[in-house]
């Protein structure tokens, strides 16, 4: 089996593994459905027998009552069977949906950053909401409706043939066969129209996501009108594609209505003839029409079942592409007992460019940081600072022989050990819409409250948290909208003081702080990283001036390196930064 085949089986394997865990419940559900269909044929048979007994009510009175009691008992038993079957049906479908979402989320956690960044937020939400629901719904209908369709055709057809008449059964069921052929022809149009609808839904979801994320910018520039017009245009396209789906769905429903009209017409004409010729009784004729009614539900489910199946196929292919994306070889389980790296970092002639860019983001980068040293990196926006850190943490693939940690090629070190050894405070200061405690410990329970409190004190955010309504358990808004920029940065910095790591990377984490707060924080960070390797990335001289070594990046290249004083003496790019950022008020702070 080649690699392509293995990739294509990943989504299939997820579904099969989930279904295997419910195999006994599925077997029970199918058994209950079969029993339910068999029980449904009994009332029509009983009513037919009662009709035949009505010719001599005085002599058949007790028999009629007995059949009536029997009919009531069957109805009560049917109720018990149906409730039991519905319970298993719901349990299986919702459990399957949960399993699928769990696996999908786990896969997104492992997808390589380079691949993940190409997927828009609206599309991701469509995967979790729309596509998983389509697959769950298809499974639900196949197990329920599909089984009922097959079992109904088998059991009811046999009952009609054995209990009434073979020729009448064949003649009456003939329109259903023709209808099934028409439905098969229409299914391609259903698939195409739904695919268009799915694409428009994704586009609209992405647009809504972007619009809500940029609502402040929209309001600041009074662009509400233009946004609304664009939304109406996209929504109109979605309505048009949904209307197309509805047209074909209604066409299928109309075809079914005509089908059963023909079935009942043939039954009445041919069945009446058989009654008049004494080939069947009136009771059998009444029962036969009752059997036809049992087909109406299952046959009417065929179009939506096909439509759901085609939708599920599209959703399956979309999710399958996600499962085919290259993933990191990393375990997302508990990693507390993993060993830590010492922290020696060496880079040799590293050049890197993103897959969709012709110009390298980094060119011929070489540097060395000994364990316990602090490296400062300064440069303008787009100079490659963050890209370099992403490569050290292996968020992107790195060419062999370029980056070494503890004299080992970074590609030979398990990702769990790399990520566990590095505390990377990124520049986006991302906060979850949960409690401050969970934002600081990142949902890990091994930290004591005293440790979290100490980390907030070191990050100079303790007093402000203490004044909040519920202290450390205060729930903040999405992305920390309830906090100021400086508060966000200090909450995020608390993670660095909490996590046990050998390498600390601070990527532009002081930009929203005033000079005094920054100075105190840097002092605490120097204490924190006294025996740790520390990399401080910034656009500000004051953040990196105390580093053991400082690099100046420009357009992806190292143009200067040395200590604070050495770089000032070179009168180069670093010195120009110094001159730009040196005001009368800040002169003493920088010096």
pLDDT of residue 394: 86
Q: How far apart are CA 168 and CA 264, in angstroms?
A: 11
Half-sphere exposure of 217 (CA within 13 A, CB side): 7
Q: How far apart are CA 317 and CA 198, in angstroms?
A: 12
**pLDDT tens, per residue, the chain with 591 residues:** 445 444 445 778 888 888 888 889 989 989 999 999 898 888 888 888 888 888 877 888 888 888 888 889 988 998 999 899 889 888 988 888 888 888 888 888 777 776 776 777 777 888 888 888 888 888 888 888 888 888 888 888 888 888 888 888 888 888 877 877 777 677 667 767 777 887 888 888 878 877 877 777 777 666 777 778 888 888 888 888 888 777 877 777 777 778 777 888 888 888 888 888 888 888 888 888 888 888 877 877 777 777 788 788 888 888 888 888 777 776 655 455 667 888 888 888 888 887 777 788 888 888 888 888 889 888 888 788 888 888 888 888 888 899 998 889 988 888 888 888 888 887 777 777 778 888 788 777 777 778 888 888 888 888 888 888 788 888 886 666 777 777 888 888 888 787 778 888 888 777 767 777 777 888 888 887 778 888 888 888 888 888 889 888 888 888 888 888 888 888 888 888 888 877 544 444 445
Parallel, antiparallel or unpaired: strands 549-554 and 374-379: parallel
Six token digits for residue 166? 């073979």
DSSP-derived 3-state class of residue 12:
helix
Q: At which residue do the structure tokens 């890197």 appear?
A: 352
pLDDT of residue 35: 92
Q: At which residue do the structure tokens 């060496």 appear?
A: 346
Q: What is the CA radius of gyration of the chain?
A: 35
Sequence-distant (≥ 6) Cβ neighbours of residue 495 within 8 angstroms: 423, 425, 440, 442, 455
Parallel, antiparallel or unpaired: strands 503-507 and 362-369: unpaired
pLDDT of residue 439: 79
**Residue 463, exposed/middle/buried by CB under 10 A (0-12, 13-18, 19+)?**
exposed
């Amino acid at each position: 089996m080649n690699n392509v085949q293995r990739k294509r089986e990943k989504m299939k394997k997820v579904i099969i593994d989930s279904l295997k865990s419910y195999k006994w419940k599925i077997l029970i559900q199918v058994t209950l459905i079969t029993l339910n269909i068999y029980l449904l044929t009994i009332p029509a048979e009983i009513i037919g027998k009662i009709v035949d007994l009505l010719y001599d009510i005085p002599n058949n009175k007790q028999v009629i009552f007995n059949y009536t009691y029997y009919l009531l008992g069957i109805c009560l038993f049917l109720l018990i069977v149906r409730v039991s079957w519905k319970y298993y049906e719901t349990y299986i479908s919702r459990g399957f949906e949960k399993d699928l979402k769990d696996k999908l989320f786990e896969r997104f956690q492992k997808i390589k950053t380079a691949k993940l960044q190409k997927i828009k937020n609206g599309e991701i939400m469509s995967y979790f909401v729309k596509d998983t629901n389509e697959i769950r719904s298809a499974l639900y209908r196949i197990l329920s409706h599909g089984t009922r369709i097959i079992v109904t055709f088998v059991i009811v057809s046999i009952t009609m043939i054995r209990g009434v008449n073979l020729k009448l059964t064949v003649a009456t069921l003939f329109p259903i066969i023709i209808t099934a052929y028409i439905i098969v022809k229409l299914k391609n149009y259903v698939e195409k129209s739904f695919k268009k609808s799915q694409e428009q839904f994704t586009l609209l979801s992405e647009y809504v996501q972007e619009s809500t994320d940029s609502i402040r910018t929209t309001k600041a520039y009074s662009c509400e009108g233009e946004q609304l017009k664009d939304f109406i245009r996209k929504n109109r396209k979605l309505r048009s594609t949904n209307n197309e789906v509805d047209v074909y769905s209604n066409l299928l429903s109309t075809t079914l209505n005509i089908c059963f009209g023909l079935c009942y017409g043939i039954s009445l004409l041919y069945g009446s003839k058989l009654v008049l010729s004494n080939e069947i009784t009136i009771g059998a004729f009444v029962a036969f029409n009752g059997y036809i009614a049992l087909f109406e539900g299952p046959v009417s489910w065929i179009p939506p079942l096909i439509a759901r199946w085609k939708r599920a196929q599209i959703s399956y292919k979309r999710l399958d592409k996600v499962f085919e994306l290259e993933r990191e070889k990393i375990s997302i389980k508990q990693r507390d007992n993993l060993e830590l790296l010492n922290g020696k970092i060496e880079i040799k002639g590293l050049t890197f460019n993103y897959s969709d860019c012709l110009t390298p983001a980094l060119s011929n980068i070489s540097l060395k940081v000994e364990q316990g040293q602090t490296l400062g990196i300064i440069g303008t926006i787009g100079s490659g600072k963050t890209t370099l850190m992403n490569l050290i943490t292996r968020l992107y693939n790195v060419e062999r022989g370029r980056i070494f940690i503890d004299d080992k090629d970074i590609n030979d070190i398990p990702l769990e050990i790399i990520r566990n050894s590095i505390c990377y405070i990124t520049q986006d200061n991302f906060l979850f819409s949960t409690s401050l405690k969970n934002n600081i410990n990142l949902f890990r329970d091994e930290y004591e409250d005293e440790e979290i409190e100490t980390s907030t004190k070191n990050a100079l955010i303790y007093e402000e948290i203490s004044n909040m309504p519920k202290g450390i358990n205060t729930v903040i808004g999405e992305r920390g909208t309830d906090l100021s920029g400086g508060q966000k940065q200090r909450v995020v910095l608390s993670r660095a003081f909490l996590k046990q790591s050998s390498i600390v990377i601070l990527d532009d984490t002081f930009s929203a702080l005033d000079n005094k707060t920054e100075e105190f924080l840097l002092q605490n960070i120097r204490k924190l990283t006294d025996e740790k390797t520390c990399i401080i990335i910034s656009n500000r001289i004051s953040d990196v001036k105390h580093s053991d070594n400082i690099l100046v990046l420009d357009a992806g290249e190292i143009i200067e390196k040395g200590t604070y004083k050495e770089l000032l003496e070179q009168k180069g790019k670093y010195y120009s930064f110094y001159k730009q950022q040196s005001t009368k008020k800040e002169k003493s702070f920088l010096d």
